[in-house]
């Protein structure tokens, strides 16, 4: 079982729609510890991505990811643009030229994406950022590949790990970004970037599992 180019495009569409629905929730999370713009910024960026998709349907997956990344860089304000832009651009480089992805390919792409985010934002685990959701998601994927698990099992494990990482940001004191200015007051709030990153991984699991039933 593989992830096709059409699956990838479907995933981006589903994620963009989820951001419409979760825009206010993400902004509420961000209003507690950030600039109160994460939901609006992510929604604006992915609406711009949707407008580019019709021209990408004959491209390879690497090119699709890079185009998404460049679009986000140019349309998303705040920290989210550079971080999510880097995420997709680096994922695209990892799967350049591929028309379909195995679970191992997706693990490579998400690992490169996470490395790109870390490089751009200089955050590590437990800094209370999107890295807290992405890193465990990558580790779960790699472990699933090493155990020879199916695509659906690997995607499910990755989504579960991302969710646990997201929830684990609640008690943390932020050490990066605008939230870090709050010091101890940032504890007790779920990180918006980790939340949108969980949504990214979870929609991949749901979309790609449903398409292969």
What is the percent of the chain where pLDDT is above 70? 92
Element holding 209 (H helix, E strand) = helix 192-210
| pLDDT class of 182 with cuts at 50, 70, 90 | low
Is the pLDDT reported for residue 126 higher than 80? no
pTM (2 d.p.): 0.93
Full domain range(s) for residue 101: 3-210
Average pLDDT over residues 12-22: 97
Q: Looking at residue 60, which CATH number applies to its domain?
A: 1.25.40.340
How many domains, the chain?
1
Angle between helices 61-75 and 38-52 (to 10 degrees): 130
């Amino acid at each position: 079982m593989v992830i096709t180019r059409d699956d990838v495009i479907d995933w981006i569409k589903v994620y963009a729609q989820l951001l419409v629905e979760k825009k206010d929730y993400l902004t509420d999370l961000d209003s507690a510890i950030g600039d109160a713009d994460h939901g609006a910024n992510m929604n604006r960026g992915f609406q711009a991505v949707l407008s580019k998709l019709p021209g990408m349907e004959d491209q390879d997956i690497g090119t699709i990811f890079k185009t998404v990344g460049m679009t986000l860089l140019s349309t998303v304000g705040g920290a989210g643009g550079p971080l999510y832009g880097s995420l997709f651009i680096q994922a695209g480089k990892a799967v350049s030229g591929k028309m379909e992805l195995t679970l191992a390919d997706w693990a490579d792409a998400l690992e490169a994406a996470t490395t790109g985010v870390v490089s751009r934002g200089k955050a590590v685990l437990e800094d209370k950022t999107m890295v807290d959701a992405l890193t465990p998601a990558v580790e779960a994927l790699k472990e699933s590949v090493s155990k020879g698990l199916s695509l659906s099992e690997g995607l499910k494990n990755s989504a579960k790990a991302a969710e646990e990482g997201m929830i684990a940001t609640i008690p943390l004191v932020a050490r990066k970004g605008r939230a870090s200015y709050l010091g101890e007051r940032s504890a007790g709030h779920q990180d918006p970037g980790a939340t949108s990153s969980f949504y990214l991984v979870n929609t991949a699991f749901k979309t790609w599992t449903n398409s292969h039933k």
